[in-house]
């Protein structure tokens, strides 16, 4: 008997020595991290040194752990940690880390750059059970925020691998003498915190991220002191928060702010009686160095089945402004975003907001009445508002005024900008409501969106009226707007050569005027409207001709194809007057006119524009057409005596775009003559065919590469058999 005991003792000793040797070898070489970090993108554990004295129990020093769950990354550090692996649960495919204790613990959370979805569920995965605690928690962090203090906590987690369910039986957190820092500034001190948190068993994929709070039970008690904010007057006379003057420690006595919270959560709903109070001192120093003290207040309560938020913001010294809000959220459910958006919470929101305040930035303002990426209100400005919200919608009677704000409106690849006056209101609309935002820009400039410093148009009195029906969440679907301006000055017509064919037709100089009346949809795209263009004394090049004169366009736009930005032009008109060839002194070259109507046509918006239209016109004569084909001296003498005589009726199909302008077919006539032509203008040398007829007399002309080929016999048959080259 004694021998068997000695033999068993020797075997136990040898097994212990083997464990001692093998276990410490694994812990203090690369073997240990290699065994643990099998999926480093989800979990990593590293340590500086390790020790094991008996099976399944280890001590680690300078421990660093990190991991990622969906978009949430985490990392933890501890000066040392110890724990054991329960052996018997291994038989049931459970890895149970029991009695884990850590000292000198720091935990930090942050948002990862890329989503790491959970693996697809496969039944039979191992369970991982962790029971851990610490009496020396030093800090908790999230992003650039960090809470430091003296604390402790407990953690119990059960998770099945391969996409299985998760259970958090308990998380307990305690912290004393805490201080909250963010961006190297102290935001609260003297923090006392106690909290509990638990989650029932649930599939991980069913409640990612913040969605888990809808299942949670939790209780948080917190109190602390806030140092307040220091306001300073900038050089432009505007008040701004001076973070550089925040005190390193919260002031004592009446000058300090107070933060108190007692919040309880039952399966995602705040418990009745939960409260949060924040009193924030505001210390201001005016331009004369005088100090002023005020307090901002925020109070949240859960009462009568709803959440109530009351806030008060006093004005800066010498200002008569104010800021008050009394808002309610129906129900006690936490206001969490759904599918990454907060819009689903808007129907719960009701209350009143009264505001008279000077803001350093007004980029948040336009979405209240017109949520549109093509419309922005920017820069500093004063806001005077009286808003009433009912079930997520601004109620009738709500008003908003901004005496001065920088407005930006992007339409058809052009940007209208200038200092504006804004007025918004909510109106009754057939049993519902309609929001209206009116902008008046006294002086504006119009530039390409791609080149905002390149001014193409400067004008006065631009007005934008935007209306939308329904709730705030529906504004981006129901928004309609109207943009109007008139007689805006175009200082240099050459600016708009970008819209004309790259060769064959371009402005050489001159000034112009532009007017517009455009109806826009929620995306800022033109639904219908008109553009008016007028240029007097303009100079332009058409083929090989340099012309001067007056040009007027009255364009009617009606949406054809939104995706292609194609518009119907039916009914648009073009008028040319006083047109002449520059440098010509002959009377026949002066005072030429034409008036045209686009009976059918469309334009595809871009640079250049692409126009395809059927045109009917009246012209003084066909002299300009003849000049595009040849010089007067090149024609037989009878042409200008007979064919180019008297007012003419014209009809043609015009194609404009790319590098050319095409007129094909073109027919001009009166009681004396008949002219047919086809012409492509893609440079200084047009290409085309011309047929002149006067009774039985006819003449044909082919123009290509600057060469002219006259057809004297059977000209009509020759013309009928011709086509413009591709």
E strands present in 430-544: 432-448, 457-469, 480-490, 505-520, 526-542
As a whole number, mean pLDDT of residues 615-644 equals: 84
pLDDT-based confidence at 689, cuts 50/70/90? very high
Is pLDDT of 523 > 90?
no
pLDDT of residue 619: 93
pLDDT of residue 437: 87
The strand pair at 660-669 and 145-160 is best described as: unpaired
As a whole number, mean pLDDT of residues 662-672 equals: 90
Query: Over pLDDT 90: what percentage of the chain?
Result: 35
Lowest mean pLDDT among 228-232, 332-336, 448-452, 558-562: 228-232
Q: How far is CA 154 from CA 72, 149, 158, 216, 457, in A?
A: 21, 16, 14, 17, 68
Q: Which two tokens stand for residue 315?
A: 């004005």
In this predicted model, which residue has the larger pLDDT, 352 or 371? 352
What are the φ/ψ torsions at residue 25 (nearest 5 degrees)? -65, -45
As a whole number, mean pLDDT of residues 190-202 equals: 92
pLDDT of residue 551: 94
pLDDT-based confidence at 266, cuts 50/70/90? very high
pLDDT of residue 514: 95
pLDDT of residue 714: 87
pLDDT of residue 318: 65
In this predicted model, which residue has the larger pLDDT, 667 or 376? 667
pLDDT of residue 589: 60
pLDDT of residue 660: 87
Q: How far is CA 518 from CA 462, 466, 525, 532, 608, in A?
A: 12, 12, 9, 11, 21
Residue that terminates a domain, selected from 169, 193, 215: 215
Q: What is the DSSP string of 102-139?
A: EESEEEEEEE-SS--PPPPP-TTPPEEEEEEEEEEEEE
The answer to whether the CB of 212 falls within 8 A of the CB of 165 is no
In a domain, 292, yes or no: no
As a whole number, mean pLDDT of residues 41-66 equals: 87
Q: How far apart, in whole angstroms, are the C-alpha atoms of residue 147 and residue 178?
A: 6
* DSSP state letter for 249: S
Residue that terminates a domain, selected from 160, 181, 215: 215
In a domain, 696, yes or no: yes
In a domain, 680, yes or no: yes
pLDDT-based confidence at 670, cuts 50/70/90? confident
Q: How far apart, in whole angstroms, are the C-alpha atoms of residue 572 and residue 530?
A: 9
What are the φ/ψ torsions at residue 380 (nearest 5 degrees)? -85, 160
CB atoms within 10 A of CB 450: 10
Q: How far apart, in whole angstroms, are the C-alpha atoms of residue 304 and residue 326?
A: 15
Query: Over pLDDT 70: what percentage of the chain?
Result: 88
What are the φ/ψ torsions at residue 212 (nearest 5 degrees)? -65, -25
pLDDT digits (tens, 9 = 90+) for 646-656: 789 999 999 98
pLDDT-based confidence at 28, cuts 50/70/90? confident
Chain centre distance of CA 581? 50
pLDDT of residue 106: 94
Is pLDDT of 430 > 80?
no
pLDDT-based confidence at 289, cuts 50/70/90? low
Q: How far apart, in whole angstroms, are the C-alpha atoms of residue 347 and residue 652?
A: 58
In a domain, 697, yes or no: yes
The DSSP bridge partners found for residue 156 are 131, 170
pLDDT-based confidence at 277, cuts 50/70/90? very high
Phi/psi-derived region of residue 391, left when phi > 0, alpha when psi is between -120 and 50, beta in every other case: left
Is pLDDT of 253 > 60?
no
Q: Which domain holds residue 101?
A: 58-215
Q: What is the DSSP string of 314-353?
A: PPPTT---EEEEEEEEESSB----BTTBSGGGGGGEEEEE
Chain centre distance of CA 713? 67
pLDDT of residue 319: 67
pLDDT of residue 191: 92
Mapped onto helix, strand or coil, the DSSP state of residue 627 is helix
Tell me the average pLDDT of the chain: 84
Query: How many Cα atoms within 13 Å fall on the side-chain side of residue 435?
Result: 31
Mapped onto helix, strand or coil, the DSSP state of residue 472 is helix
Q: Work out how many domains the chain is built from and give that number.
A: 2
What are the φ/ψ torsions at residue 602 (nearest 5 degrees)? -150, 155
Is pLDDT of 244 > 60?
no
In a domain, 462, yes or no: no
Of 648, 661, 657, the closest CA to residue 616 belongs to 648
Residue that terminates a domain, selected from 215, 236, 255: 215
Q: Which two tokens stand for residue 314?
A: 């006093």
In a domain, 44, yes or no: no
Lowest mean pLDDT among 274-283, 361-370, 395-404, 412-421: 361-370
Report the predicted TM-score, pTM, of the whole model to 2 decimal places: 0.67
pLDDT digits (tens, 9 = 90+) for 152-187: 999 999 988 888 888 999 999 999 999 998 877 788
In this predicted model, which residue has the larger pLDDT, 635 or 75? 75
pLDDT of residue 725: 79
Phi/psi-derived region of residue 412, left when phi > 0, alpha when psi is between -120 and 50, beta in every other case: left
Q: Which two tokens stand for residue 542?
A: 């058409």
pLDDT-based confidence at 232, cuts 50/70/90? low
> Per 3-state DSSP, what percentage of the chain is helix, strand, and coil (rounded to 5)?
15, 60, 25
pLDDT digits (tens, 9 = 90+) for 575-603: 999 998 886 555 456 688 999 999 999 99
Residues 6 or more apart in contact with residue 626 via CB below 8 angstroms: 632, 635, 639, 640, 643, 644, 690
pLDDT of residue 255: 55
In a domain, 623, yes or no: yes
In a domain, 529, yes or no: yes
């Amino acid at each position: 008997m004694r021998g068997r005991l000695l033999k068993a003792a020797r075997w136990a000793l040898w097994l212990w020595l083997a464990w001692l040797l093998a276990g410490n070898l694994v812990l203090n070489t690369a073997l240990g991290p290699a065994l643990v970090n099998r999926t480093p993108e989800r979990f990593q554990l590293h340590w500086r040194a390790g020790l094991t004295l008996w099976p399944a129990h280890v001590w680690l020093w300078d421990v660093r752990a990190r991991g990622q769950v969906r978009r949430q990354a985490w990392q933890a550090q501890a000066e040392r940690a110890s724990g054991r692996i329960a052996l018997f649960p291994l038989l049931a495919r459970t890895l149970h880390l029991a009695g884990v204790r850590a000292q000198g613990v720091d935990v930090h959370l942050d948002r990862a750059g890329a989503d790491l979805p959970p693996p697809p569920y496969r039944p039979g995965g191992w369970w991982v059970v962790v029971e851990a605690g610490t009496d020396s928690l030093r800090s908790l962090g999230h992003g650039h925020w960090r809470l430091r203090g003296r604390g402790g906590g407990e953690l119990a987690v059960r998770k099945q691998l391969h996409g299985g369910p998760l259970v958090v039986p308990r998380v307990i957190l305690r912290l004393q003498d805490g201080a909250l820092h963010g961006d190297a500034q102290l935001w609260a001190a003297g923090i006392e915190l106690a909290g509990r948190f638990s989650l029932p068993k649930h599939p991980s994929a069913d409640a990612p991220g913040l969605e888990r709070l809808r299942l949670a039970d939790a209780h948080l008690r917190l109190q602390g002191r806030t140092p307040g904010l220091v306001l300073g007057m900038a050089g432009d006379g505007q008040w701004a928060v001076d973070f550089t003057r925040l005190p390193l420690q919260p002031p004592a006595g009446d000058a300090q702010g107070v933060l108190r919270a007692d919040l309880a959560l039952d399966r995602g709903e705040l418990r009745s009686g939960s409260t949060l109070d924040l009193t924030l001192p505001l210390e201001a120093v005016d331009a004369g160095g005088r100090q002023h003290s005020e307090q901002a207040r925020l109070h949240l309560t859960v009462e009568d089945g709803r959440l109530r938020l009351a806030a008060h913001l006093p004005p800066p010294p010498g200002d008569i402004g104010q800021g008050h809000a009394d808002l309610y959220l129906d129900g006690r459910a936490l206001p969490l975003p759904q599918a990454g958006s907060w819009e689903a919470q808007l129907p719960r929101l009701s209350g009143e907001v009264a505001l008279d305040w000077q803001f350093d930035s007004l980029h948040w303002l336009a979405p209240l009445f017109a949520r549109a990426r093509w419309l922005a209100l920017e820069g500093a400005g004063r806001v005077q508002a009286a808003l009433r919200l009912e079930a997520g919608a601004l109620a009738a009677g709500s008003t908003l005024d901004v005496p001065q704000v920088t407005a930006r409106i992007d339409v058809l690849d052009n940007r209208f900008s200038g200092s504006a006056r804004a007025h918004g209101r909510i109106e009754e609309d057939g049993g519902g409501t309609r929001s209206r935002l009116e902008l008046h820009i006294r002086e504006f400039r119009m530039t390409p969106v791609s080149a905002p410093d390149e001014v193409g148009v400067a004008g006065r009195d631009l007005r934008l009226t935007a209306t939308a029906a329904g709730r705030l969440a529906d504004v981006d679907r129901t928004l309609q707007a109207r943009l109007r301006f008139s007689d805006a000055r175009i200082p240099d017509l050459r600016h708009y050569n970008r819209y004309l064919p790259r060769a064959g037709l371009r402005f050489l100089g001159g000034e112009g005027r532009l007017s517009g009346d455009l109806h826009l949809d929620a995306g800022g795209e033109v639904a219908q409207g008109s553009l008016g263009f007028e240029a007097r004394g303009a100079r332009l090049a058409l083929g090989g001709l340099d012309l001067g004169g007056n040009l007027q366009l009255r364009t009617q736009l009606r949406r054809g194809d939104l995706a292609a930005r194609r518009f119907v032009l039916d009914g648009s008109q073009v008028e040319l007057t006083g047109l002449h060839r520059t440098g010509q002194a002959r009377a026949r070259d002066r005072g030429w006119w034409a008036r045209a109507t686009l009976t059918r046509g469309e334009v595809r918006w871009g640079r250049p524009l692409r126009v395809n239209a059927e045109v009917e016109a009246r012209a003084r004569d066909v002299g300009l057409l003849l000049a595009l084909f040849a010089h007067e001296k090149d024609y037989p003498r009878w042409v200008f005596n007979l064919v180019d005589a008297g007012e003419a009726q014209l009809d043609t199909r015009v194609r404009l775009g790319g590098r050319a302008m095409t007129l094909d077919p073109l027919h001009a006539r009166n009681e004396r003559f008949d002219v047919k032509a086809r012409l492509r203008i893609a440079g200084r040398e047009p290409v085309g065919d011309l047929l002149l007829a006067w009774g039985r007399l006819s003449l044909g002309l082919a123009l290509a590469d600057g060469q002219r080929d006259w057809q004297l016999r059977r000209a009509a048959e020759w013309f009928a058999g011709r086509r413009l080259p591709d």
